[in-house]
Structure 1
Amino acid sequence: MASGLGRGNGAAAASVQLGLWTGDAIADRFWKFYGEETSTRAITRLQFLEHVGYLLFLKLDHERAQRAGRFAQQPVAPVDAWPNLALLSGDALHTGLTTLFDELGDQQLSDRPDRQTASVVFRDAQPWDLDRMAELNKLIVEQIDPYRWLAVPQAELGRAFSRMLRDCRKEIDSKIETGQTLTPLPVLNAITKVLGVGPEDIVIDPACGTGTTLIAAYHAMLAANRQLPPAALAGADLDAQMCRLAMLNILLHTGRPFADPAPVRLADTLKRKTPVVRSGSGAVPTVAICNPPFKSNGVQPDATMRDDFWAYGDFPTNFLQHLAITLPQGARAAVFVPDGVLSGGGAAATVRQNLLRNCDVHTLLRLPTGLFHRKGVKSNVLFFTKSTPKPSGEPATRHLWVYDARTGNHHTDTGNPVTEADFDDFVASCLPEEGFAARTESKRFRRYSVAEILASPKTSLLLKAHLTKELGDFGSPKEIAFEVADRLDEAAAHFRQVAEALPGQ
C-alpha cells in the first residue's frame, strides 16, 4: 500500500510504504545516508543533524505555502527558495545556502516579526564546506526533496528528530564549556506526572538545552487537549546551537506555524528578574522544569542586576534560587541539582534556608547514579511550589518527602538505560489515589519535618530514605576517567584565566 507521500515538487507519487515513516525508520534512513554518503570525518553527526533540520524547515515552509486555499501559510523564507535550492549544486549551492542562511538568521526583525522563529534556527548557521556540496546536494535531492513531509505524521517526525538528538549525545555532552547534557525521557515523564502538567499550564525552562524538558511537558499537555496556545512553552539558553536544536525539536514535534513568535530565546536568564525571557505574550508561567548546567565555573550573575538573589553561588544554586524567586505564587517547579547544592555551605546553605521558608519544598528525588552520560556527579530533583509567606513567619515547607531511587541502582544511557518502569513506584508513592495527604513511608520513601531539617547542620537536604547502607557507586572505569578529564578541563580553564590576568612582564 502506498503512503501517499508524493514528491515535493509535483512529480509522480513516491511509492513508499507507511511502515518506513515511523520515527525510528526516518532516523535510520538519515543515519544510513550519513554513514554511506558523507565524509564522517569532515562532518560530525551533530552538524549533519543540524542540516537535516535546516532542510526540513525550508521544505516544510515551502509545502505549507503550496497548500490550497485558506490552508496555505505565507512562507517565512523567500518565495520559491526551496525549489530553487533543489536545482543548485557546487559553488552555486554553497553561495545560495550562505545567502539564505544569512537572510533568515538576521537578528534585525523590526520589519519581519514573522521571522522571529527562523532567526533562532538560522542564527550563525553556515553550510558545510565547499568541497562537501556534492554530499549536501545528494541529501537534498534524494532524501528531502522527493517527499511531501507534511504527510508524515507529526508525532513520528518529532520522534525522529528526538531520536537523532539522542544519537548525538556524545557530541552534546562534550560541550563542557556550557555544561550541556541530555536528560533521559523516562525521568522527565515521571516529573511531568508528579507536577500534574496539563493543557492549561504555561511551562518554562530557563536553561532548556535541546528542549527535551519542554517536549516532555508538551506531550503531557497534549494527552488532554489537542490544541495548545502558542505561549504554552517557553525556553532560553546561553548556547546558540542548543537554542537552534531546541527550536527545531519543538517545531517538528508540535507542527506550530513558523511565523508564530519563537518559543526559545538566546539569553542569559540569570541576569533577568523574570523566570524566562519572553516576547510580550503576557503569559504567566505556571510550571518550570529545569536541568541547569552542573558546573561551578563560569560567569556569575551581575549583582547590580540581581539584587533579589539570596546569595551568589554556582550555576545550579543560582538557577534554583532564580526560579524560587521569580516564579509567581502557586507555580510548580522541578529543578535538577547535584549533591553539592543539597549539602554545601555558603551560598548553597543560604539558598536552601530561604527556599524552605518561601516555597513548599515537598519532594526530593535522589536519582540513580550514572544517569547522565559520562557525568560522575550525583543528581537529584527538587520539587517545590511557590508559596505565599506566612504572617507567622513559619516556613512555607512543612514536610519534605525523600524518595531514594539511587541506592542499589546504577544506570548508563547505553548499557543499562532507565525506563518508565524504573519510576513507576516513585510516581505512585508521590501521588497515591487518596491524594497528596495520603502519602505513606516505605523503605524508599521517607518524610522529614522542616523543623528537623532546619535544625540540622547547614540545613542539609542530603537526606536518605533507604533503610540499608548506601554503597559508594563511582561508575565504570571509563566513566571515572571521563569525570577526571572533565575536572582537569575545568581546572585548566581556571588556570588560563589566572594566566591571562598576570602582567605581561
Structure 2
Amino acid sequence: MSATQDIVAKLWKLCDVLRDDGVTYSEYVTELTFLLFLKMMAETGQERRIPEEYRWDTLARREGLDQLTHYKHLLTSLGDPEERDAEGKPKPAKDKLVLAIFENAQTRLRKPANLKSLTTAIEDLDWFDAREEGLGDLYEGLLQKNAEDKKSGAGQYFTPRPLIDSIVRLTKPQLGERIQDPAAGTGGFIVAAHRRIYEENNELYGLAEGAAEKQIRDCYTLSELVPDTHRLCLMNIMLHGIEGDAQSMDTLTDEGSHLPKADLILSNPPFGTKKGGGRPQRSDFSTTAGTSNKQLAFVEHIIRGLVPGGRAAVVVPDNVLFEDGTGRALRQMLMNWCDLHTILRLPTGIFYAQGVKTNVIFFTRNADRSESGWTEAVWVYDMRAGAPSYGKTRPLRAEDFADFEAAFGDDPNGRAERQDQGEEGRFRRFSREDIEKRGDNLDISWLRDGEEEAEDGLTDPDDITAAILGHLREATREIEALVLELEGEEEGAAPAAVAAE
C-alpha cells in the first residue's frame, strides 16, 4: 500500500468515530477539507496566506473546549471578507482562495474530543511521503472514497477516474488551450486535463516566459453550483497546482453566458430537472429555453461555449439521445452546428449513486460557425451490451476502455480512419440520412443488451441496493419530466425551434 493510500484509509476510518457526533460522510469530507487546508498550507510553505492566529499549529496545540471554540471562530473569521478588529477597523484583506474555501464555513463537531482526534490524527500522518507522492493525489483519494461509499450519496457528482482519464486521452488537451467544465463537481476533468498537459510538457519547465503561469492561472474555467462541492473543487485544483477560474455559480443563468469561450469542454452535467420545474434563465438560449431538463440545457451551453473548431466530450443520460420535442430540436442543433462524430454507450452501474443509463458524446464545433449539415455521420460504440456487473466487486478499470480507444483512433476530432465492425461488432457508422429516418433518435443499439444478465450477477448488497435506488430515481425523474412537459403543452408552450446563435 502506498503512503497516500495508507493516509486515506486512516483518515476515512475516523469518520466512524465522528458519526456519534451526528456527522455524515459528506459533512466529514467538508470538515476534513477545512483542517487539511490549514495543515497543507503549513506543509507546502504557504502559511503566509493565512493570518498568524489561525494557522495550523495555533489550532493543533490547543485542548478541549478552548480548541473547539477557537476552531469555530477560525472558520467564521477566515470566511469573512470584511472582518474588523476590536476597535472596529477593517483587518487586512484576506487571500481570495482562503476566503473561497471558508465562505460560510461551519463545523458540525460538537464534542471537543472529536476535534482533538482529528487534529492529532492529521498531525501524526506521514507528511513527508505524502508530499513525495503528491498532496493532490491524497485529496483525490478522499473524494473517491467518499464517492464509492453508497451511504455518502456523493457519487452523483464524482465521475469515475478511469472514464475521465479515457476521455482526456481521446480529446488530447494541449498547452495553452482554454479548457472549461461548466458543471465541475470536484474538478476531476480539469485535474486530469492539467495532469496530461503537465506531464507532456516537461512539468511546465523550459517554456517561454510566462507560459507556465498562464497555463495554471488563465487556461482553466470551472463552474459549480453547490457551495460545499465548490469548496471541495477549489481544494482539489489547488493541491494539483491549478489556480484557474473556479466560480460558484449556476451556469444555466445569464452568468453562464459570460464564461469565456473554450477550445475544449469536458463535463458530466447534473441529471434531472431544475428544482420547481424552473427553466434556464439564459437570454442567449433558443432551443432549450422552454425546458426544465438540465442536461438538455447544459448541452446547448456547451455547443455555444466552444470556439470555432473547439471540441467537447460530455456525459449525458440516454434520454438526451431519444427524448422528443425539445430533445429532438437539441439533437438537430447539435448535428447542424457541430460534427457529432462519436457516441460511447456506457455500461450501467459505473456511477455509484445513479443507476441511469449514460453515454459520452464527442463533438467538434463548426470551424466557420455555420448552422447546417455539419454532421455527416455518427459512429456509435456499444460498451453496454454484455458488460460486466460493475460495482464494488468489479470496479471500472482503465483497460475496460482499451478497445474503444483503439476504435476511436488518434484524432481528437474523430477524423482518424475507422472500421465499421458490422452487426456483430461494437463499433458502427450511421449516416445522417440513417439518423433522419430514425426521427433523429440517437439511442442506437443493435447488440443484445446484457443489462439484465449483468444485474442478475450483482452479489454485493450495497451494489444491489444502489441498482434498485438508481432505477427508482430514474423512474421518478422520467415521471417528473413527463408531468412538466404535459403542463407546458396545456399552457400552449411549444418546443423551441433551433435558432441562430
TM-score by length of 1: 0.79
> In structure 2, what is the Cα distance between the partners aligned to 1:353 and 1:493?
24
Change (3 A) 1:373 1:151: closer
The AA in structure 2 aligned to 1:99 is H
Change (3 A) 1:492 1:353: closer
Change (3 A) 1:104 1:64: same
> In structure 2, what is the Cα distance between the partners aligned to 1:77 and 1:309?
48
- The equivalent residue for 1:243 is 230
> In structure 2, what is the Cα distance between the partners aligned to 1:412 and 1:83?
44
- The equivalent residue for 1:50 is 30
Report 1:59-458 matches (<5 A).
59-65=39-45, 74-78=48-52, 81-106=55-80, 115-131=95-111, 133-140=112-119, 142-145=120-123, 149=127, 152-153=130-131, 155-169=133-147, 180-225=156-201, 226-227=203-204, 228-252=215-239, 254-256=240-242, 263-272=245-254, 274=256, 277=259, 284-298=261-275, 305-311=282-288, 312-313=290-291, 314-389=293-368, 394-432=372-410, 436-442=415-421, 443-457=425-439
Larger CA deviation: 154-163 vs 110-119: 110-119
Q: Unaligned regions of 5+ residues in structure 2, if any?
A: 84-89, 205-214, 457-463, 485-501
- The equivalent residue for 1:460 is 441
Change (3 A) 1:107 1:265: farther
The answer as to whether partners of 1:206 and 1:269 remain within 8 angstroms in 2 is yes
1:157-213 CA distances to partner (integer Å, 9 max, x unpaired)?
A: 22222222222126688659xx93321111111111111123333322111112222
CA RMSD of aligned residues (A): 3.4
> In structure 2, what is the Cα distance between the partners aligned to 1:293 and 1:365?
18
> In structure 1, what is the Cα distance between the partners aligned to 2:135 and 2:347?
31
Superposed displacement of residue 492, structure 1 = 11
The AA in structure 1 aligned to 2:470 is E
Q: Secondary structure at the match of 2:49?
A: coil
Aligned identity (percent) is 27
Q: Secondary structure at the match of 1:331?
A: strand
TM-score by length of 2: 0.80
> In structure 1, what is the Cα distance between the partners aligned to 2:79 and 2:480?
31
Q: Secondary structure at the match of 1:310?
A: coil
Superposed displacement of residue 488, structure 1 = 7.9
Q: Secondary structure at the match of 1:143?
A: helix
Larger CA deviation: 396-405 vs 479-488: 479-488
> In structure 2, what is the Cα distance between the partners aligned to 1:491 and 1:332?
30
> In structure 1, what is the Cα distance between the partners aligned to 2:23 and 2:280?
42
> In structure 1, what is the Cα distance between the partners aligned to 2:150 and 2:277?
23
Change (3 A) 1:269 1:301: farther
The AA in structure 2 aligned to 1:384 is F
> In structure 2, what is the Cα distance between the partners aligned to 1:431 and 1:375?
30
The answer as to whether partners of 1:309 and 1:322 remain within 8 angstroms in 2 is no
> In structure 1, what is the Cα distance between the partners aligned to 2:235 and 2:263?
24
